[in-house]
């Protein structure tokens, strides 16, 4: 499941930890013969190259690093400037560089659009020039995933194809899919990483540019959170298709501990149906359904306020009951809000009803409600006394 993560490079230690977790763990698991970075010279791919240069420097198991650059000649001197920049960076950072130079005239008459032609050409060259055990690192990020999902929905793609890209397919590795363009901009600014600006990225003649520059900003103005929602839809569709295909092929294990687990979207739908059967007619948010699904899968326990009048109890992974939240004084509302936070989610921890999920880890123990109340100048009252 791909979820956007925010990176804050406050200091070198945090940066090293992020590089180790996001890059080095994959490399140690995959142990490639050589890692090639597809680098255009732009912000995204140059940031990716810089990251892998740092990882190579710190790696417990050193690895070979190379650069793949294609000069399509589409922007004349600007394209040659990109190539010169990439060659210079390769020399300064001590990385072997391979360059393919082509001309727009080589594009067959009546062929696909210029961007599709360029994409097919570079991927074919990538496969040809690299070894079977090599990795090809691509700088696709979270925002690219969102744009692809929206474009494919508009084109009528099937549910299995909305998401577009995976972290690892064949030899192609995309380690930045959980991070947005803004994170990469922060990184290059803090580390003073030079990069080239492709003027064609601002041309609205290309569909992806129009989606990036006009369509998505307009949708975000109307529906805040649309990027996350689009990607969630695409991921739900892929999980459903993967689950259905495996089930149809009869590939699920006969062993009870290896049974095929239903995708999260089906678990969420089952929870909604269970709540309706219990008589709850209100709307349950996606965030609440995800928390409930996780509790059921992990066999956990929690108390959740579904709305201002209703709370739900889950114990050992099973929904127990719905119960009303009785009217109470303003002072008790302040006390409860302080204990629960604004999320309305509390974990059940035995003798203590409420566990502040927003600020404490489960291992941190129970909140002493009486002491918390005293610190707020409020009388201590158990939640059931409402």
Q: What is the pLDDT of residues 5-43, one digit of tens each?
A: 655 566 778 888 888 888 989 999 999 999 999 999 999
Same domain (yes/no): 77, 221: yes
Same domain (yes/no): 53, 139: yes
Looking at residue 260, what DSSP letter applies? P
Residues contacting 58, CB < 8 A, separation 6+: 16, 19, 20, 24
Same domain (yes/no): 221, 325: no
Same domain (yes/no): 342, 206: no
Same domain (yes/no): 218, 132: yes
Looking at the chain, list the stretches that DSSP marks H as alpha helix, in order from N- to C-terminal side: 12-19, 25-30, 43-58, 77-93, 114-129, 142-155, 181-190, 207-210, 216-222, 226-249, 264-277, 286-298, 330-340, 369-375
> Helix or strand or coil: residue 34?
strand
* Residue 242: C-alpha distances to residues 238, 266, 350 (Å): 6, 13, 39
Matching residue, tokens 């004084």: 329
Domain count within the chain = 2
- Is residue 284 in a domain? no
Residues contacting 29, CB < 8 A, separation 6+: none
- Is residue 275 in a domain? no
Q: Write down the pLDDT at residue 112.
A: 74
Tokens representing 357 are: 């999920």
Q: Write down the pLDDT at residue 381.
A: 44
- Is residue 206 in a domain? yes
Same domain (yes/no): 217, 353: no
Last residue of a domain, which of 213, 231, 249? 231
Same domain (yes/no): 227, 303: no
Matching residue, tokens 């509790």: 295
Domain coverage including residue 335: 299-385
Same domain (yes/no): 113, 199: yes
- Name the maximum alpha-carbon separation found in the chain: 82
Last residue of a domain, which of 179, 203, 231? 231
CATH of the domain at 147: 3.40.50.620
Same domain (yes/no): 48, 191: yes
* Nearest residue to 284 via CA among 329, 314, 326: 314
Same domain (yes/no): 307, 220: no
Same domain (yes/no): 215, 137: yes
> Helix or strand or coil: residue 66?
strand
- Is residue 268 in a domain? no
- Is residue 320 in a domain? yes
- Is residue 4 in a domain? no
Q: Write down the pLDDT at residue 345.
A: 52
- Is residue 258 in a domain? no
Last residue of a domain, which of 231, 256, 285? 231
- Is residue 106 in a domain? yes
Query: Which residues of the chain fall below pLDDT 50?
Result: 253-258, 346-374, 376-386
Same domain (yes/no): 226, 305: no
């Amino acid at each position: 499941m791909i979820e956007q993560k925010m990176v804050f490079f406050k200091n070198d230690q945090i940066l090293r930890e992020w590089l180790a977790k996001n890059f080095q763990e994959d490399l140690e698991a995959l142990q490639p013969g050589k890692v090639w970075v597809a680098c255009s010279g732009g912000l995204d791919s140059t940031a990716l190259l810089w990251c892998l240069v740092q990882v190579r420097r710190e790696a417990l198991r050193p690895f070979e690093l190379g650069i793949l650059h294609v000069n399509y000649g589409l922007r004349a001197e600007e394209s040659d400037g990109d190539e010169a920049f990439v060659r210079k960076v390769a020399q300064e950072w001590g990385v072997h560089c391979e360059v393919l130079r082509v001309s727009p005239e080589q594009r067959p008459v009546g062929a696909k659009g210029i961007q599709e032609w360029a994409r097919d050409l570079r991927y074919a060259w990538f496969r040809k020039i690299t070894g079977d055990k090599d990795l090809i690192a691509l700088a696709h990020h979270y925002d690219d995933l969102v744009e692809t999902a929206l474009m494919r929905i508009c084109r009528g793609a099937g549910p299995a194809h909305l998401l577009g890209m995976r972290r690892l397919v064949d030899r192609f590795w995309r380690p930045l899919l959980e991070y947005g363009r803004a994170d990469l901009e922060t990184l290059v600014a803090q580390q003073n990483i030079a990069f080239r600006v492709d003027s064609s990225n601002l041309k609205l003649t290309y569909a992806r540019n129009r989606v990036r520059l006009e369509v998505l900003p307009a949708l975000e103005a109307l529906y805040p959170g649309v990027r996350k929602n689009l990607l969630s839809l695409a991921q739900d569709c892929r999980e459903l298709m993967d689950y259905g295909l495996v089930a149809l092929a009869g590939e699920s294990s006969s062993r009870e501990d290896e049974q095929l687990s239903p995708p999260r979207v089906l678990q969420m739908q089952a929870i909604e149906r269970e709540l309706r059967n219990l008589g709850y007619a209100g709307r349950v948010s996606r965030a609440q359904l995800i928390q409930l699904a996780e509790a059921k899968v992990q066999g956990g326990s929690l108390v959740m306020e579904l709305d201002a009048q209703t709370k739900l109890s889950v114990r050992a992974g099973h929904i127990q009951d719905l119960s009303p939240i009785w009217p109470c004084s303003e002072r008790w509302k302040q006390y409860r809000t302080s204990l629960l936070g604004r999320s309305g989610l509390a974990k059940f921890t035995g003798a203590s009803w409420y566990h502040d999920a927003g600020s404490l880890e489960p291992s941190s123990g129970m909140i002493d409600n009486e002491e918390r109340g005293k610190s707020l100048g409020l009388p201590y009252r158990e939640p059931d006394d409402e």
